Amino acid sequence: MINRLCIIGVGLIGGSLARALRANDAVGEIVGCSRSAEHLQQAVELGVIDRFDTDPAAAVAGADMVLVAVPMGAMETVFRQIKPRLAAAAVITDVGSAKGAVVDAAQKAFGGVPANLVPGHPIAGTERSGVAASFAELFQQRRVILTPLAHTDAEAVDRVRGMWETAGAEVVEMGVEHHDRVLAATSHLPHILAYATVDSLARLHEHDEIFQYAAGGFRDFTRIAGSDPVMWRDICLANREAILEMIAHFQVDLTALTEAIQARDGERLVEIFSRAKRARDEHAPR
Amino acid sequence: MINRLCIIGVGLIGGSLARALRANDAVGEIVGCSRSAEHLQQAVELGVIDRFDTDPAAAVAGADMVLVAVPMGAMETVFRQIKPRLAAAAVITDVGSAKGAVVDAAQKAFGGVPANLVPGHPIAGTERSGVAASFAELFQQRRVILTPLAHTDAEAVDRVRGMWETAGAEVVEMGVEHHDRVLAATSHLPHILAYATVDSLARLHEHDEIFQYAAGGFRDFTRIAGSDPVMWRDICLANREAILEMIAHFQVDLTALTEAIQARDGERLVEIFSRAKRARDEHAPR
């Protein structure tokens, strides 16, 4: 049970967690915080939070659980802002898509990563953003990855784990670097490729017509290019090295495929497509 | 009204058209043809076709409409096989994803593209294939592109147009080369990128784990990598030049994005992502 939950960044993720905890009677009071009083007022009206404060320090006062759900680029600033008023017993966690950068930000802001900070990442979301898109079921049957450090307090990890499990998620733990590599592969690379594809087609002379003939496969393929640009700028900068490594890795395969097309090597094409289809059908069922 | 429709290649596309025409009482008899008597027997049992013949020449005898719905690589062979028994008044159309290659195949097989051959391409389909996946509604509110040549018989075009409209499609006409360029951009490039992405991740050391953490966005992005490898080999070879052009075009944009990440150029990243998001939101609504 959480007595007072403070959510900094009441968007799709923060809002959905608030709804899920509320639906399970797992939280007393929920205090919201973000830069926009208007958005926070909307969150109150939607019943997602009980009250709000646009000052992070005031918002965290008295909270026993603090969820930082802001874009990666704002993490360090938020950590600095909340530092003076954090309760000694408070547990802090975040939802950033790159954990190395969160650890760095905490290191800088707190002068060392606090033992009661549990870096976390729910593998959930849609291409929509904002509290209006939030819903209590977002985390059901989704994974949440926690990346505690060697000195992270075990009880803090347990409390964060319990919170996400209450929201319906399956919680796993892994190392910071390993998380960042896995996410670069499964999430960051596909987003970058989808953005690059749409941008590339939009540059074509006949772009209006081209989009007009896009069918269902294209819509699925490019859905993630509708994601929030600022959030994805932050992710690209925060997980820069793992992302660049995955792009380079992908380029090797795209080049091999391109060369097979150039060489009219049908056998090689079937080999590549079949291997990909097998991997997809096996791991990502419809 | 079609008296006898012969469908060569009774799969998702051919089967769905048969079902749609039947549902609209727009066809007398439907004769199926493919290399597998077993698949054809299944099509009869599903009520998709009335009877079948595994010999294309025998199957087209007496048909006033012939739909060739085989992979691109089999077009020329099928054209050669049906040539001797085609009725003089028969209209022939196809569903190939690359029209230049169909025109070439017809040129070679018939010694000139027949005036009653109307190259066509329904922009519809799923990543599934086979007659068991076919359904009458597949073409509703979908576009079918016809690419008649200068000497194509206008009445033949009208008959093919009417057939697809009966199935619920919106029919448009465009030039062969233009079609191949538009499809390379909106369909062929995304399929190649999806295949390359999945293949790339499958090559990673920790591939099983990586796929395990793939979320909804990844599943949407890679759904088309579940498509039939042989069909896509044929498309890559049939529309080779336009596809290579689109890959090169895409590489320019991916390189620009990669350089922005390397240079930690957040402003440039937001600019690219925002432009892509606008293009996507405008043209490919959710």
What pLDDT digit, counting tens, does each position of A204-217 carry? Answer: 888 888 888 877 77
Q: How close does chain A come to B234, measured CA to CA in Å?
A: 8
Long-range Cβ pairs for the range A238-241 (8 Å, 24+): A238/A72, A238/A73, A238/A96, A238/A97, A238/A98, A238/A100, A238/A101, A238/A102, A239/A97, A239/A98, A239/A100, A239/A101, A239/A180, A239/A183, A239/A184, A239/A188, A240/B261, A240/B262, A240/B264
What is the percent of chain A where pLDDT is above 90? Answer: 85
Minimum-distance CB partner of A280 among B210, B222, B250 = B222
> Which amino acid is residue A206, in one-letter code?
E
Is A262 in the B-facing interface, judged by CB distances under 8 Å?
yes
CA atoms of A35 and B56, how far apart (whole Å) = 69
pLDDT in tens, B110-167: 999 999 999 999 998 777 789 999 999 999 999 999 999 999 999 999 999 999 999 9
Could you tell me which residues come within 8 angstroms of residue B283 by beta carbon, excluding any fewer than 6 positions away?
A208, A211, A212, A214
Which run of H or of E encompasses B251? helix B240-262
Minimum-distance CB partner of A197 among B123, B189, B270 = B189
pLDDT at B217: 77
Is A205 in the B-facing interface, judged by CB distances under 8 Å?
no
Kindly report the backbone phi and psi dihedral angles of residue A47, in degrees, each rounded to the nearest multiple of 5, phi listed first: 80, 15
The sheet carrying B120-122 orders its strands as B120-122, B143-146, B170-173
pLDDT in tens, B18-38: 999 999 999 999 999 999 999
Helix (H, G, I), strand (E, B) or coil at B138: coil
What domains does chain A contain, in order, with CATH numbers?
A: 2-174 (3.40.50.720), 178-283 (1.10.3660.10)
Nearest of A261, A62, A242 to residue B236 by alpha carbon: A261
Q: What is the mean pLDDT of chain B?
A: 94
Find the mean pLDDT for residues A70-80: 95
Q: What is the dihedral of CA A110, A111, A114, A117, to 10 degrees?
A: 50
Is B263 in the A-facing interface, judged by CB distances under 8 Å?
no
Residue B285: pLDDT over 60: no
Q: Which residues in chain A touch residue B211, judged by CB atoms under 8 angstroms apart? A: 186, 279, 282-284
> Which amino acid is residue A167, in one-letter code?
A
Find the mean pLDDT for residues B43-60: 97
Do the chains contact at A279 and B198, CB–CB below 8 Å? yes
Helix (H, G, I), strand (E, B) or coil at A127: coil
Residue A239: pLDDT over 80: yes
pLDDT in tens, B81-96: 999 999 999 999 999 9
Q: What is the mean pLDDT of chain A?
A: 94
Is residue B70 within 8 Å of B97, Cβ to Cβ? no
Is B35 in the A-facing interface, judged by CB distances under 8 Å?
no
pLDDT at A284: 62
CA atoms of A50 and A120, how far apart (whole Å) = 24
Residue A262: pLDDT over 50: yes
Helix (H, G, I), strand (E, B) or coil at B106: helix
Is residue A50 within 8 Å of A44, Cβ to Cβ? yes
Instruction: Grade residue A285 by pLDDT with cuts at 50, 70 and 90.
Output: low
Do the chains contact at A261 and B244, CB–CB below 8 Å? yes
pLDDT at B286: 47
pLDDT in tens, A18-36: 999 999 999 999 999 999 9
Instruction: Grade residue B179 by pLDDT with cuts at 50, 70 and 90.
Output: very high
Nearest of B3, B37, B46 to residue B21 by alpha carbon: B3
- Give the sign of the dihedral formed by CA B17, CA B21, CA B22, CA B27: negative
Neighbour-count burial of B268, counting CB atoms closer than 10 A to its CB (0-12 exposed, 13-18 middle, 19+ buried): middle
Q: Which residues in chain B touch residue A186, judged by CB atoms under 8 angstroms apart? A: 201, 210-211, 213-215, 218
CA atoms of B199 and A90, how far apart (whole Å) = 44
Kindly report the backbone phi and psi dihedral angles of residue B208, in degrees, each rounded to the nearest multiple of 5, phi listed first: -60, -45
Q: Is the ipTM of this complex over 0.85?
A: yes
Lowest mean pLDDT, pick from A47-56, A204-213, B4-13, B117-126:
A204-213
pLDDT in tens, B184-236: 999 999 999 999 999 999 888 888 888 888 777 788 888 889 999 999 999 99
pLDDT in tens, A92-142: 999 999 999 999 999 999 999 999 999 999 998 777 789 999 999 999 999
> Which amino acid is residue A83, in one-letter code?
K
Kindly report the backbone phi and psi dihedral angles of residue B52, in degrees, each rounded to the nearest multiple of 5, phi listed first: -145, 165
**Which B residues, 53 through 92, put their C-beta within 8 Å of a C-beta on chain A?**
73
pLDDT at B149: 98
